[in-house]
Amino acid sequence: MKHSVNRPPTPDEDDAAEGFEKDELTLREIINVKLVESGEKENLMELVRDRLVECGWKDEMRIACREHVKKKGRKDVTVDELIRVITPKGRASVPDSVKAELLNRIQNFIVSAAL
């Protein structure tokens, strides 16, 4: 039999002392898995994208990116850098209505997934 079959389980899962925190992490992971499996994640992604485009948020982000590219020079820019630059602004500038709608849907999902 292959060694991988007899591989001892990963220490994390075995560690009972960190149970509670790990439970949270695992819970989040579980939710993620359920979201993906049920296809709800796909729906949510599409919804988020649509809403953020509608309200002009995406355009604002693209302007911010272009500003940064202008400053840094076209050739020097990296994707990570752009993400780093626009994430704080991006997270903060999501319209409240969009956020509320999404949170609502997610919560409904969590509840219905009986977690």
Partner 1 sequence: MSGPDGNKSSHTELSSQVFFDLVDSVIADVASECHRVARLGLDRDLEVVEEELRFSVEARAKVADPSNNLETNTKFVVDIFGQTHPPVASEVFNCMNCGRQIVAGRFAPHLEKCMGKGRKARAKATRSTTAAAQNRNSRRSPNPRYSAYPNSVSENQLASGSPGVACEDCTVRENVKGG
**Closer to partner 1 by Cβ: residue 6 or 78:** 78
Alpha helices in the chain (DSSP H): 11-14, 19-38, 40-54, 57-72, 79-92, 96-112
Alpha carbon distance, N-terminus to C-terminus of the chain: 37
Point out which residues bind partner 1 (CB under 8 A): 23-24, 27-28, 31-32, 35, 44-45, 48-49, 52, 58, 61-62, 65-66, 69-70, 74-75, 77-79, 82-83, 86-87, 90-91, 94, 99, 102-103, 106-107, 110-111
In the complex, what is the shortest distance from the CB of residue 54 to partner 1, in angstroms, rounded to a whole number? 13
In the complex, what is the shortest distance from the CB of residue 111 to partner 1, in angstroms, rounded to a whole number? 7
**Closer to partner 1 by Cβ: residue 15 or 62:** 62
Closest CA to 52 of 86, 85, 99, 84: 99
**Closer to partner 1 by Cβ: residue 15 or 66:** 66
Q: How far is CA 73 from CA 16, 23, 89, in A?
A: 51, 45, 21
